[in-house]
A and B are shown apart, each in its own frame.
Chain A
Amino acid sequence: MASLRPLSRGPFLLLLIFFVFSLSLLRPIQGNGGSDGGGGGEEFSEELLLKPLPDRKVLAHFHFRSAAPPSAANGRHHHLFPKAIAQLVQKFQIRELELSFTQGRWNYERWGGSDPISTRNAKPPGVELWALFDLPTEEIDPTWKNLTHALSGLFCASINFLESPTAYSSPYWGFLSNNGNLRYGALPREAVCTENLTPWLKILPCRDKAGIASLLYRPSIYKGYYHSQRLRLLSSESKGIILEQTLTVVLQPNSYTSSLLSSSDAQLQPSWSLSQLFKKEMTGKCVLAKSSKIFLELERGLLEKIVEIRDDSWSNSFFDLFPSPDREIKELENSNGQVGSSLYEYKVDNSNENKPLDVGITWKLPLVWSSVHAPFQASRFLMGSGNERGSIAISLQSTQTHDQYFGDLNDCTVPVIVLQVVPWYVKVYYHTLQISIDGKPQTLSDVIEKIQVTPSEDKLLPGTLEIMLRFPCSMLSATLSLDFDKGFLHIDEYPPDANQGFDIPSALVTFPNIYSSRSYPDYDVSDDSSLLHNLQEKYLVRSYTEVLLVPLTTPDFSMPYNVITFTCTVLALYFGSLLNVLRRRIGEEERLLAKKDSARPGLVPLLFSRLSSKLKGRKLLLKVVFVALVAVVWHYFLNSS
């Protein structure tokens, strides 16, 4: 019977397998058919934006976009869209999510602070994660915890440290307006490396085997001055899931002149090309991508200088772009026909193994320009010294670009939102908030429009300060300062390298009235470049401040050993004397003493007599002498040999 069993079940199993298989085959076909009818199925597009920066560096912005239609039409299976991400969205009911891994700092002064690239891709060092959930309020916190664990598994990072309620906060309007379903957390100390990039690349349909991602040669992209790898998810009932993966790097082109050009020489920008920058060649697109393009952007500041000569904008006396672009897309500047930035488009389709696409720029004459700044540059620093207290100061310096943003300087005000999350061991006294504008202290009610404070709770909750300020447009500098006390941590709450100090994550400064966007009149919707689409979207101008390092009192971690020794000694003494007292009979002792008293010797003679009485046995004395002799003989024997 036993041997017959599998035989009898065999056909059924086969049938079952066939059934399942056919179902799974059918579904994608269905999905595809459905999406075709709806006007777009799963899509993937890859784009790269290159931009020379004023300080002789180059910005490379990789932009990958995958879209999946609404899940109802698609079921559980996908052609291109990464399943892991889709599952994540479904399981945790994510409406919006952004995860960024950043190494290095974005230099707002030199690389710009208000263009769409910098406002979106300038992120604080370390890991930053925020998510909007489509869940009832009480389920959000547990979901967030699960999400952090899932992400940390997915991206090989310790994002799970954001699980603890002391690590994340839920800002109400300081980050994004929401109804309590936003969670925001940052891990400034997280180191970013290839182990985070590899899983990120695995999400792409071609990985880094083909297409634009094949440029990502690890040694060259990790040598950069800024490296920010970002993942952004948007999901809605109508549009499905959209996954945007961007990698922004700032690289220093290797130029032979850099060593010769030291100080007084003309500052000729280094010439570069794709193959030089990345040490890899662009040999064709990812076949799964709907569009695969490379853009080269020249900033407004740069073009303004060239326009004066009325030359060809990509091949002129200052520089040459090579090869010549397939298309030039000009930005429309809103007011009085000013020059805007320009995008030069290259299609990757035309390239192959034999004819790699090597976009580059050759400089012929030195040119100095500056990037577009945000109206104020934010920086944050600690004040005071010592292990007891200190203050955090956020200072805003005007970049002298009023005319760009505000028309009339008189009677004009600019709102600024500051979001500051402070860990609980930095005990901020919010009532000590002081604001001064141009060196004059202000009454808070004049400047503050809106304020929301979530005070920290020890070991439970970080403090969150959301504050909307209104500054006069003509202001040169403003400073906010908050005093804090440094708390004490429990011994097991210290991280392994506690003596470095503790981080306060970056504060976020948002300018709610100022949007960064480009408008390209030449752009048509059929073009379907997601990068261009993104650049045209309106996005608030934001800037992150520095991460701060607060030195806290750290115990000497070898101390527990000493403490144990001391405690044991004290306990021994205590119990010894306690026992002594307990087993003592004072009356009897006094009687004994009275008896003995007549012939009581002093302490020294007593000790002496005891010692001598012990030594009185001649055997013992002999033993001691013998041992000593043996020791001496042994010692000399050892020394002489």
Chain B
Amino acid sequence: MAGERGEEGGEEGDPNLKKRAHAARSRLIVRLGAFLVSHSALVSVVCCVAGFITLFLLPVLAKHTYISENALMPGSANPLFSSQDVNEANRFIKGIIHKRIEKEEAGIELQKFIGQSIADVGAEVHYHKFSPHTNHFNPLHFFSSTSNTARIDTNNSCASFGVNTVGIIRAPRGDGKEAIVLVSPYNSQNMEYNEALSLGLAFSVFSLLSKVTWLAKDIVWLAADSRFGEYNSVSSWLNDYHNPIFSRDSGNLDSISNDCHHWNEIRIQGANSNFFKRAGTMAAALVFKVMEKKEKGDRDCLTMYAEASNGQMPNLDLLNIVHYLAVHRQGLRVKIETMGSLLNSAWVKFTGEILEGVSRLSKSLNPQWKFDVTTADYVEGAATLASSMYYQALGVPTGSHGAFRDYQIDAVTLEFLPRFYLRNENAQSTFLLRSGRLIEGVVRSVNNLLEKFHQSFFLYFLTAPNKFVSVGVYMIAFALLVAPLPIVAAALFARAKANEITTDDCAEKCTPIDTKESEIATGSWKWLQAAKVLLMIHSWAVIVSLLPYYISHMINLNSTMSMLTWVSLSISTLPFLYALFGSPFSLNVEWELLKAVMVATISIGLGLMSIINFSTAQIGAMLLVPMSLLVHPLKAKMNVNALLRAALLTCNIAFAFLGFPPVALLVAKGLSEGFGKLSIGDFWEWMEFLWEWNSATYLYLLWVQLPCWLLCIHILLHPCSRGDSRHKQ
């Protein structure tokens, strides 16, 4: 229906068609749709270009953050954290260092020391032991809330358990319904000085909070034993907090650890310190650690990490209060991750310069237009935005705060970088004072909250610590990129149909005998053939995505070998499927129909992915949309001039090259790190990384990107014989 108007010019004489065209004319909306479809090439070019331009404009469109929830009131109270608390921290640090030196093989001495300190402060303490989790690829457990981790039961020695120390302050007059969590990770086996410092910081804040009278929410301090990784310890504690298992089978953790004498020591020390203690619903969590800085800076630095799994972010208000208190109260410099390679990139700078020129022009036209860009700002913003998008798109948490987001708890990791060498006592004290006051301020703010975080944004990109792009703005670029897809699909379908009608006319004139089979092959159900090809290729992609599960079970394979196995297995399944369902070339599918169906599925795939992880869809769209829109069989004839044709061909080949996920990754990696270190195994490692973290990006790459790329290759290599023969007819 929709496409008739496009063909109207050619079919002026047919009265039948004209009547239908009149019927279509009846509604404005249909007419507009038809208009769009008939000008699909123009529409798609305009939309794509506009989409890319909006994407590059995002750093300019970023707004300043503001504290949306009034109840937070950051910085409204004077900090209580004083030099006395710093002394407390120093004493604690000395104690810990002493313990470490005292016993080379630490056992759980450190945990006991921390536990004793917590008990002395008057808070409740308990020890949480956990076994390391190994992440196994389990294809069926994506998105499921139950963790797909398996406990290692084979290695039952004491050394294979981590012990977290948890302290809980019950708010004196609170009702204990909510809690704020402080996490300070440290490695109990091999503790560095900076970890001792972060523990000391945490302890001093904790001991201060145990004395204050304004607490409304309980405070939980988790000294996370990160010997098996920070994330592991935090996530296993959270898992036991939220999904405890009451009835264990035989051979469980308890019975194993009962043999372990370290554990029994703790048991003797406090009768109740082994019961898992809880403190209500968690309102927010702060993970903080102190890093050692090599070079000297002018101010203490604070880096915020917020990205959790599958592009989820904590509420923006949490970042806002941290930023506000750090910058305006404690005078720290707040940073977030930036993509370093973009900072020096020439073309970003070039874009920035263009935008600066535009802004100058607009200022000269009307000084009231607030379009004010400088190149440096733009480059900085673009680099930060790119890293923000990249980490969200990757779907892998950037720190142990990610574990909290899985339970809908807002959490952020604060990484402190002191300005001086850590062991400088004086500098350490001022640093502790500042960071302690910051943490106290954040806790106090969150403590003020009556409701959970809900006022501010959950969907945003950061372009600077105090600038963000909200969902309403960054959606535009994606919407513009995806908008031409259905239009092009409709146009292609209509064109294929029109072709078919002409050939049908031909057939009526030339060959009056019409067999039933050919009717199916050429009739209005012809697109089913294309759909069949599509289905086959998608099922191939599903098989390919499941293969790593089996490959990872094979032992003694390095990443390159695994990758090669994966590729060869994938390629070998393809002919098998061809044999089963028939190859796309033998099925005589017209390339236009195939492309129409492919474009339609891409729009569905991208739409779905944008719901799951927007950034992945956004980055994917930048690659997939031009690739799928431009694809054109190499052999097909085009009635355009040679220059355009050559450009189209090179674009096609370039996109077909870049659209292959491994190549895209390798090129991206090569651009950022140099091409010298590349190996084929990189992709395998990357994929392993993605599925270990349950990232939906893995599914996107293998279920949307890969089949579409393969279909594009099919279209590129399409023989076009039938169409040509028809044209000859």
A117 to B: closest C-beta gap in Å: 19
Closest Cβ neighbor of A387 among chain B residues: B408
Contacts of A597 in B (CB 8 A): 18, 22
B116 to A: closest C-beta gap in Å: 8
Contact in complex: A225, B172 (CB < 8 Å):
yes
Contacts of A487 in B (CB 8 A): none
Contact in complex: B280, A386 (CB < 8 Å):
no
A639–B454 CA distance with the chains assembled, in angstroms: 42
A381–B408 CA distance with the chains assembled, in angstroms: 17
Given contacts A379-B278, A386-B408, A593-B22, contact A547 B248 (CB under 8 A): no
B213 at the interface (CB under 8 A from A): yes
Contacts of A639 in B (CB 8 A): 366-368
A107 at the interface (CB under 8 A from B): yes
A262 at the interface (CB under 8 A from B): yes
From the candidates A55, A379, A382, A439, name the one contacting B281 in the complex (CB within 8 A): A382
- Total chain B interface residues with beta-carbon distance under 8 A: 49
Contact in complex: B243, A384 (CB < 8 Å):
yes
Contact in complex: A547, B176 (CB < 8 Å):
yes
From the candidates A188, A386, A500, name the one contacting B452 in the complex (CB within 8 A): A500
Contacts of B566 in A (CB 8 A): none
Contact in complex: A551, B120 (CB < 8 Å):
no
Contacts of B367 in A (CB 8 A): 639
A445 at the interface (CB under 8 A from B): no
A211 at the interface (CB under 8 A from B): no
Contact in complex: B172, A55 (CB < 8 Å):
no
Contacts of A479 in B (CB 8 A): 246
Closest Cβ neighbor of B277 among chain A residues: A379
B689 at the interface (CB under 8 A from A): no
Contacts of B84 in A (CB 8 A): 259
Closest Cβ neighbor of B22 among chain A residues: A593
A435–B563 CA distance with the chains assembled, in angstroms: 49
Contact in complex: B117, A393 (CB < 8 Å):
no
B672 to A: closest C-beta gap in Å: 36
Given contacts A385-B242, A385-B407, A549-B281, contact A499 B173 (CB under 8 A): no
A440 at the interface (CB under 8 A from B): yes
From the candidates A383, A384, A549, A603, name the one contacting B178 in the complex (CB within 8 A): A549
Contact in complex: B281, A503 (CB < 8 Å):
no
Contact in complex: B450, A497 (CB < 8 Å):
yes
Contact in complex: B170, A105 (CB < 8 Å):
yes
Mark interface residues in B121-144 (1 if CB within 8 Å of A CB, else 0): 110100000000000000000000
Given contacts A103-B173, A549-B280, contact A384 B244 (CB under 8 A): no
A548–B452 CA distance with the chains assembled, in angstroms: 15
A379–B275 CA distance with the chains assembled, in angstroms: 11
A264 at the interface (CB under 8 A from B): yes
Contact in complex: A439, B254 (CB < 8 Å):
yes
A246 at the interface (CB under 8 A from B): no
Give chain B's interface secondary structure class. Answer: loop
Contacts of B122 in A (CB 8 A): 55-56
Closest Cβ neighbor of A264 among chain B residues: B120
Contact in complex: A105, B451 (CB < 8 Å):
no
A416 to B: closest C-beta gap in Å: 17
Contact in complex: A381, B278 (CB < 8 Å):
yes
B98 to A: closest C-beta gap in Å: 13
A334 at the interface (CB under 8 A from B): no
A227–B172 CA distance with the chains assembled, in angstroms: 10
- Total chain A interface residues with beta-carbon distance under 8 A: 54
Contacts of A264 in B (CB 8 A): 120
Contact in complex: A547, B121 (CB < 8 Å):
no
Contacts of A477 in B (CB 8 A): 275
For window 64-108 of A, CB contacts with B under 8 Å fall at 103-105, 107
Contacts of A554 in B (CB 8 A): 454
Mark interface residues in B17-54 (1 if CB within 8 Å of A CB, else 0): 01000100100000100010000000000000000000
Closest Cβ neighbor of B454 among chain A residues: A499
Contact in complex: B281, A551 (CB < 8 Å):
yes
Contact in complex: B248, A546 (CB < 8 Å):
no
A449 at the interface (CB under 8 A from B): no
A381–B281 CA distance with the chains assembled, in angstroms: 9
Contact in complex: B275, A385 (CB < 8 Å):
no
Contact in complex: A262, B88 (CB < 8 Å):
yes
Given contacts A439-B246, A499-B452, A501-B281, contact A546 B176 (CB under 8 A): yes
A230–B152 CA distance with the chains assembled, in angstroms: 53
A498–B454 CA distance with the chains assembled, in angstroms: 11
Contact in complex: B35, A603 (CB < 8 Å):
yes
A125 at the interface (CB under 8 A from B): yes
A107–B367 CA distance with the chains assembled, in angstroms: 65
For window 126-183 of B, CB contacts with A under 8 Å fall at 145, 170, 172-178
Mark interface residues in B213-245 (1 if CB within 8 Å of A CB, else 0): 100000000000000000000000000001110
Contacts of B244 in A (CB 8 A): 383, 393
Given contacts A126-B175, A481-B246, A549-B280, contact A263 B121 (CB under 8 A): yes
Given contacts A436-B246, A439-B254, contact A501 B452 (CB under 8 A): yes
Contacts of A441 in B (CB 8 A): 246-247
A397 at the interface (CB under 8 A from B): yes
A327 at the interface (CB under 8 A from B): no
Given contacts A109-B272, A381-B278, A603-B31, contact A223 B213 (CB under 8 A): yes
A107–B272 CA distance with the chains assembled, in angstroms: 14
A105–B172 CA distance with the chains assembled, in angstroms: 8
Contact in complex: B173, A225 (CB < 8 Å):
yes
B353 to A: closest C-beta gap in Å: 27
For window 249-285 of A, CB contacts with B under 8 Å fall at 258-259, 262-264
Mark interface residues in A550-590 (1 if CB within 8 Å of B CB, else 0): 01001000000000000000000000000000000000001
B184 at the interface (CB under 8 A from A): no
Closest Cβ neighbor of A125 among chain B residues: B175
B554 at the interface (CB under 8 A from A): no
Closest Cβ neighbor of B406 among chain A residues: A385
A324 at the interface (CB under 8 A from B): no
A351 at the interface (CB under 8 A from B): no
From the candidates A105, A126, A259, A500, name the one contacting B450 in the complex (CB within 8 A): A500
A432–B160 CA distance with the chains assembled, in angstroms: 35
Q: For B173, B248, B252, B454, which residue has the most chain A Cβ atoms within 10 angstroms?
A: B173
A441–B173 CA distance with the chains assembled, in angstroms: 37
A109–B275 CA distance with the chains assembled, in angstroms: 13
Mark interface residues in A45-56 (1 if CB within 8 Å of B CB, else 0): 000000000011
B65 at the interface (CB under 8 A from A): no
B671 at the interface (CB under 8 A from A): no
B647 at the interface (CB under 8 A from A): no
A33 to B: closest C-beta gap in Å: 49
Given contacts A105-B170, A109-B272, contact A439 B247 (CB under 8 A): yes
Contact in complex: B254, A385 (CB < 8 Å):
no
A497–B173 CA distance with the chains assembled, in angstroms: 20
B271 at the interface (CB under 8 A from A): yes
A104–B406 CA distance with the chains assembled, in angstroms: 30
Contacts of B368 in A (CB 8 A): 639
Mark interface residues in A427-454 (1 if CB within 8 Å of B CB, else 0): 0000000101001110000000000000
Contact in complex: B242, A383 (CB < 8 Å):
yes
Contacts of B695 in A (CB 8 A): none
Closest Cβ neighbor of A499 among chain B residues: B451
From the candidates A126, A262, A397, A500, name the one contacting B275 in the complex (CB within 8 A): A397
From the candidates B211, B247, B280, B406, name the one contacting A546 in the complex (CB within 8 A): B280
Complex A-B: 14 CB contacts under 8 Å: A109-B124, A188-B175, A264-B120, A379-B278, A385-B242, A385-B408, A397-B272, A397-B275, A434-B246, A498-B451, A547-B176, A549-B178, A549-B280, A554-B454
Sorted nearest first, the 10 A-B pairs with minimum C-beta distance are: A499-B451, A549-B177, A263-B120, A125-B175, A385-B407, A441-B247, A436-B247, A500-B451, A436-B246, A479-B246
Mark B residues whose CB is within 8 Å of A: 18, 22, 25, 31, 35, 84, 88, 91, 117, 120-122, 124, 145, 170, 172-178, 207, 211, 213, 242-244, 246-248, 252, 254, 271-272, 275, 278, 280-281, 366-368, 406-408, 450-452, 454
In the complex, besides A259-B84, A386-B408, A549-B178, 10 extra interface pairs with C-beta distance below 8 angstroms are A56-B122, A104-B172, A104-B174, A125-B176, A224-B173, A263-B91, A385-B145, A481-B246, A499-B451, A500-B450
